[in-house]
Amino acid sequence: MHNEYFQISNESGIAHLQLNRPDRLNTMGPTFFTGLRDAVLALDDAGDTRALVISSTGKHFSAGMALDVFTGTTDVFDNSSPRARLGFQHALRNLMDCFDTLDQVRFPVICAIQGGCIGGGLDLAVACDIRTCTTNAFFALQETHLGMTADLGVLQRLPKIIPAGVARQMAYTSERLSAERALAVGLVNAVLPDAEALLRHAMELARTIASKSPLAVAGCKTAINFARDHSTSESLRHMALLQSAIFDTQDLAEAISAWQGKRQGHFDALSPLTACQTANPHDREPLQASRASADAQPSRSEDHNLTRLSMPYSIESTVRDLLGNDTTKAIIEQHLPGFWSYPQIGMAQGMGLSTVAKFSNGLITEDALRKIDVALKVLSR
């Protein structure tokens, strides 16, 4: 698969997405964002991708967003028009959601960076799980220098990757962060001498990840992402529920057998997500729990508790029928994050109903959970 901005391949469970507009410094035009989103979601939906490497061609990784992203939106900078501002907000959320896809998919994403990683390029890089770079790489939030605030996720993600003071200095000054400094502060995991060595390193790392149980790796990504945005107590409670849903004795036995036999383990691919596919891939709900605060306005990608399924029955309608009380819904959303996500449908069967009920401090009855359990069993057939 390829388009004017990148090409993508998938071999033996390792996908490689390579930016391929070196003559334009791999800038991101209008269709780059939806193309990236759709390509990455397609890999996740298929279930057989174990890791994704994102790299580039040419001297620089990416100079960020191209100016033609807003071509045709004549009133986008019309500050006097509330309609234009509302349209701008909607367009911006769509762009944010495209990078957020990298955070939501079940497989790890490795970003291999050469040369400049500027503006939107840095937004892309920090949305990935792991970053590596060449010795000549540098990183910059160029938006401040241009008189605007970076707005596609770097200000939210970067301070959780590197020390907050370093992130603030980058944001306030637009100064470049060198490869050496990026390694020192933890923005990248390794620095390689050139682009060829960089790609070899990234692909070898992807092969190592691909050799592990994809279910275990996906569980790690889900747990780490949740812990990043929640307290230790909340994360431990989430971990207990997550492990109850995904613990696989077959993968455990195979991993031990492979280790004892000094051989490569053989693990089944993750299940395809075609049952969760909506008519518009942009509306697919994330597998991770929402990171929005309780008083924030949720986006479509954050409203995780009511996943739409292309099935005869709908969890959304079932939940609305069984849980008409907003307080009850809120309790489930708080204590059972991701409970309604399709890959975790078996969670109700895996947990004792009385244990789950205790999380609600008595506001959710075992009888209600039994009804939900029955509904989920019907949906999972």
Q: Say which CATH number the domain at 70 has.
A: 3.90.226.10
Band (106; pLDDT cuts 50, 70, 90): very high
| Whether residue 291 has pLDDT greater than 60 | no
Q: Which tokens hold the place of 290?
A: 């929402």
Band (82; pLDDT cuts 50, 70, 90): confident
What DSSP line would sit under 36-65, residue for residue? HHHHHHHHHHHS---EEEEEE-SS-SB--B
Residue 121 lies in a domain: yes
| Whether residue 309 has pLDDT greater than 70 | no
Residue 380 three-state SS: coil
Question: Are 77 and 173 part of one and the same domain?
Answer: yes
| Whether residue 326 has pLDDT greater than 80 | no
Q: Are β-strands 51-56 and 116-118 bridged in parallel, bridged antiparallel, or unpaired?
A: unpaired
Question: Are 195 and 220 part of one and the same domain?
Answer: no
Q: Which amino acid is at 17?
A: L
* Mean per-residue pLDDT, 163-186: 98
Question: Are 179 and 299 part of one and the same domain?
Answer: no
Question: Are 322 and 176 part of one and the same domain?
Answer: no
Question: Are 192 and 245 part of one and the same domain?
Answer: no
Residue 379 three-state SS: helix
Write down which residue in 162, 195, 210 finishes a domain: 210
Question: Are 139 and 225 part of one and the same domain?
Answer: no
Q: Looking at residue 364, what is its pLDDT?
A: 60
Residue 71 lies in a domain: yes
Band (378; pLDDT cuts 50, 70, 90): low
* Mean per-residue pLDDT, 361-371: 62
Tokens 């990608």 sit at which residue? 301
Q: Looking at residue 333, what is its pLDDT?
A: 57
**pTM value?**
0.72
Residue pLDDT, tens place only, 250-272:
999 999 999 999 999 999 999 99
Residue 17 three-state SS: strand
Q: Looking at residue 368, what is its pLDDT?
A: 67
Q: Supply the range of the domain harboring residue 272.
A: 214-379
CA distance 189 to 233: 28
Write down which residue in 153, 177, 210 finishes a domain: 210
Residue 1 lies in a domain: no
| Whether residue 281 has pLDDT greater than 60 | no
Question: Are 374 and 230 part of one and the same domain?
Answer: yes
Question: Are 305 and 164 part of one and the same domain?
Answer: no
Question: Are 179 and 316 part of one and the same domain?
Answer: no
CA distance 334 to 340: 12
CA distance 255 to 261: 10
* Mean per-residue pLDDT, 197-220: 97
Write down which residue in 210, 235, 255 finishes a domain: 210
> Exposed (0-12), middle (13-18) or buried (19+): which is 259, by Cβ within 10 Å?
exposed
Residue pLDDT, tens place only, 189-199:
999 999 999 99
Residue 252 lies in a domain: yes
- Tally the domains of the chain: 2
Residue 354 lies in a domain: yes
Q: Which tokens hold the place of 374?
A: 């029955």
Question: Are 132 and 120 part of one and the same domain?
Answer: yes
Q: Which helix (H) or strand (E) holds 116?
A: strand 116-118
Residue 224 lies in a domain: yes
Question: Are 186 and 102 part of one and the same domain?
Answer: yes
* pLDDT: which is higher, 281 or 119: 119
Q: Are β-strands 116-118 and 109-113 bridged in parallel, bridged antiparallel, or unpaired?
A: unpaired
Q: Looking at residue 275, what is its pLDDT?
A: 47
The chain-wide mean pLDDT, for the chain, equals 80
Q: Looking at residue 362, what is its pLDDT?
A: 55
CB count, 10 Å around CB of 29? 17
Question: Are 171 and 294 part of one and the same domain?
Answer: no
